[in-house]
Structure 1
Amino acid sequence: MTMEMQTAAPGIWGEPRSKTVTWYDPVAAAQTGLALSGLEYMRAMASGQLPPAPIVSLLGGAAAMSVAEGEVGFTCVPDESVYNPIGLVHGGLVCTMLDSAIGCAFHTTLPPGIGYTSIEIKINYLRPVRADTGEIRVRGWVTKPGRRVGFGEGEVRDGEGKLLASASSSLLVLSN
């Protein structure tokens, strides 16, 4: 950046914007969750008995959550704070939401005290997402549960039902 651009930049950048993020102690919720099956844990979060994970607040997600065994859905309203350099919602947000939905769906198949982590995820981005896209719906489901490794898929749709992205993932079962 040239010295002229640095001097002129604040005027052309517009007013600065900010975002406040609030969350609850994730370790306390996780400790409580150890005594619950994955399905009970996800339902406790969906009903507000347990707080959502901090990433939810950071990314503007989980305004609504649906939970069934092997399937989880939630919403996200992306804003410009998650834009990439070309003026679109960063694919990392979409990937994170898909990873979360598939992981939470897999968690609903696990017994108390057992966790999981993603091994890999493959994303297909089909349409751009912008702040004016509005609320997006994320859904993850299990295609094959397992004792050591499980598999799932997910999708992101806009308010009109158009498919924005899809994913497939494998997850590792973690024993305590």
Structure 2
Amino acid sequence: MTAMESAPAVPEPDPALWGEPRSKSVTWYDPIRVASAAATLSGLEFLTAMRDGHIPPPPISRLFDFRPVEVARGDVVFTCQPDESAYNPIGLVHGGLLCTILDTAAACAVQTTLDAGVAYTSIEIKVNYLRPVRIAAGRPNRLTAHGWTTRPGRRVAFAEGDVRDDDGKIVATASSSCLILA
């Protein structure tokens, strides 16, 4: 764009065209206090307590409405109920939401293999998006993210994951590595 050119005019919001503005309220507990509980429990104990409602979920899970529903050593399952606030500009659930729940599922699968006082962080994730995710009217629209550890390690651990729609179709897959902070 040259100095002589100008950006196209952006139309004023028109409720007749776009509908009324919508909003979403998110509440959470102090994540630092919650994380301090992780130091006293093994990763499996911590995620089991979160699944059972004894420890509150982190703020990101409140924002995207996902939660652990199955927890075992090296294996976790989360469900996610996306709403239209997760849409991207082309009317699909944003890939960032899928990446977030894949990162969570894969990393939490690694977390279930760790002893009390041992932390971790994701150092790499590769996501493959296989089909678009839309929020269908009149359907539950639930996504299920499954993460499993493929190689636990003392310094780096590896995990994989997938996300399935309500029909059981895989919509995205991931491979991940986590740095173990012992």
TM-score by length of 2: 0.90
Kindly provide the CA deviation profile for residues 64-95 of structure 1, in whole angstroms up to 9, marking residues without a partner as x. 51100001101001111011111111000000
Residue in structure 1 matched with residue 159 of structure 2 by the alignment:
152
Question: Hey, what does 1:67 align to over in structure 2?
Answer: 71
Q: Is residue 24 of structure 2 the alignment partner of residue 11 of structure 1? A: no
What residue in structure 1 maps to residue 143 of structure 2? 136
Q: Does 2:120 align with 1:113?
A: no
- Look up the match of 2:131: 127
Match of 2:59? 54
Task: Give the distance between the partners of 2:78 and 2:18, measured in 1 at CA.
Answer: 34
Corresponding residue to 2:33 among 28, 40, 47: 28
1:86-97 alignment runs, 5 A limit: 86-97=90-101
Root-mean-square deviation over aligned CA pairs: 1.3
Count of residues paired in the alignment: 172
Q: Taking structure 1 as the reference length, what is the TM-score of the superposition? A: 0.93
Is there any run of 5+ residues in structure 2 with no aligned partner, and where? 1-7
Counterpart selection for 2:175 from 156, 165, 168: 168
Kindly provide the CA deviation profile for residues 33-81 of structure 1, in whole angstroms up to 9, marking residues without a partner as x: 201111111111011110011111100111x511000011010011110
Which 4+ residue blocks in structure 1 deviate beyond 2 angstroms? 8-11
Higher helix share: 1
Q: Percent identity?
A: 57
Contact 1:21 1:58 in 2 (8 A): yes
Q: What's 2:47 paired with?
A: 42
CA contact (8 A) 1:79 1:130 kept: no
Unaligned 5+ runs, structure 1: none
Residue identity opposite 2:33 in structure 1: A
Secondary structure of the corresponding residue to residue 131 of structure 1: coil
Moved more, 87-96 or 21-30: 21-30
One-letter identity of the residue aligned with 1:54:
P
Q: Distance in 2 between matches of 1:116 and 1:66?
A: 20
Aligned equivalents of 2:94 and 2:37: distance in 1?
A: 33
Over alpha carbons, which structure has the higher Rg?
2
